[in-house]
């Protein structure tokens, strides 16, 4: 089967340097959102016989955790990133999970088997579609009648100080752009009215939003958090145009900001997500 990709820009990033960086730093990225993911698992029921579709599965945490719960079901996990899918397959093999398979593909146009899934999930992987209505309609096509959608997406900037902390620390006097709240991007599904309209147009019903607030867990201590925060793709992008002096100053400000966020449980910065749920209407 020839793989069809319509989100070309995203595919190039996630199947290239960005995907490789996320794969190398899987433990840090997953550790950062572990409390949000734990809340998702506590709120979304996965029975042993559930057949699941995982959109934007990344390094495989979500797919493997759900496959362990859906022991008599089947999990199909899809992502654009070859490097992360390789790590995901290794993870499933190490865990001895035989009911999960990983496929590289664009969920907006992937030829899902119609009416084959009970539940479609995603952990911060559905905010980047070039045509979200078409993407969600395609995802819905994989669900059986009454099948469920349950996805985590970031709320707006005001509820996510972790985004502004890194940006402000590394700005070095520049007016850096913030992620847009419309269009592909990390905050692209933060507006509930807009998302409700999209999902309705895609054929979903019973749309609901549950706010989840948990801190981003940046590291066990300041050194650990700084190593992670200073080497993310976003941080490297903000640092690349600075001269040596400004770069040194910016990294010092970042370290100071992380120091201020230190708690007895590690370096933690406020974050908030929507758990969006809907049914195949």
| CATH number (domain holding residue 38) | 3.40.50.150
| Domain count of the fold of the chain | 1
- What percentage of the chain exceeds 90 in pLDDT? 81
* pLDDT tens-place string over residues 113-143: 999 999 999 999 999 998 999 999 999 999 9
Q: How confident is the model at residue 14 (pLDDT cuts 50, 70, 90)?
A: low
Q: How confident is the model at residue 233 (pLDDT cuts 50, 70, 90)?
A: confident
Residue 17 is predicted with a pLDDT of 74
203: left (phi over 0), alpha (psi -120 to 50) or beta: left
Identify whether 194 is part of a domain: yes
Identify whether 190 is part of a domain: yes
How many Cβ atoms sit within 10 Å of the Cβ of residue 103?
Answer: 13
Residue 118 is predicted with a pLDDT of 98
Identify whether 20 is part of a domain: yes
pTM attached to this predicted model: 0.93
Domain that holds residue 153: 8-158+180-216+272-280
Residue 176 is predicted with a pLDDT of 85
pLDDT at 37 over 90: yes
pLDDT at 202 over 60: yes
Identify whether 138 is part of a domain: yes
Per-chain mean pLDDT for the chain: 93
Identify whether 67 is part of a domain: yes
Identify whether 265 is part of a domain: no
pLDDT at 146 over 80: yes
Closest CA relative to residue 83, chosen from 161, 13, 8? 13
**Which SS3 state, helix, strand or coil, does residue 164 take?**
helix
Identify whether 98 is part of a domain: yes
């Amino acid at each position: 089967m020839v793989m069809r990709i319509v989100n070309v820009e995203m595919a190039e990033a996630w199947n290239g340097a960005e995907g490789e960086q996320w794969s190398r730093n899987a433990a840090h990225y997953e550790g950062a959102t572990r409390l949000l993911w734990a809340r998702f698992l506590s709120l979304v029921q996965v029975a042993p016989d559930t057949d699941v579709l995982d959109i934007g599965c990344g390094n495989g945490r979500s797919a493997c955790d759900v496959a362990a719960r859906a022991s008599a079901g089947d999990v199909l996990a899809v992502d654009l990133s070859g490097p992360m899918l390789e790590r995901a397959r290794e993870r499933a093999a190490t865990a001895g999970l035989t009911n999960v398979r990983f496929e590289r593909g664009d969920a907006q146009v992937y030829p899902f088997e119609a009416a084959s899934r009970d539940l479609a999930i995603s952990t911060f992987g559905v905010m980047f579609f070039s045509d979200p209505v078409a993407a969600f309609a395609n995802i819905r096509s994989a669900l059986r009648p009454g099948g469920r959608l349950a996805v985590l997406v970031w709320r707006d900037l005001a509820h996510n100080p972790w985004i502004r902390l890194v940006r402000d620390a590394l700005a070095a006097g520049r007016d850096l752009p913030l992620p847009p709240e419309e269009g592909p991007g990390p905050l692209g599904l933060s507006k509930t009215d807009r998302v409700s309209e999209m999902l309705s147009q895609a054929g979903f019903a019973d749309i609901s939003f549950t706010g989840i607030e948990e801190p981003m867990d940046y590291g066990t201590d300041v050194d650990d958090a700084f190593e992670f925060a200073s080497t993310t793709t976003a941080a490297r992008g903000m640092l690349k145009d600075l001269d040596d002096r400004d770069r040194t100053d910016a990294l010092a400000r970042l370290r100071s900001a992380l120091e201020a966020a230190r708690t007895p449980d590690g370096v933690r910065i406020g974050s908030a997500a929507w758990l969006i749920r809907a049914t195949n209407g």
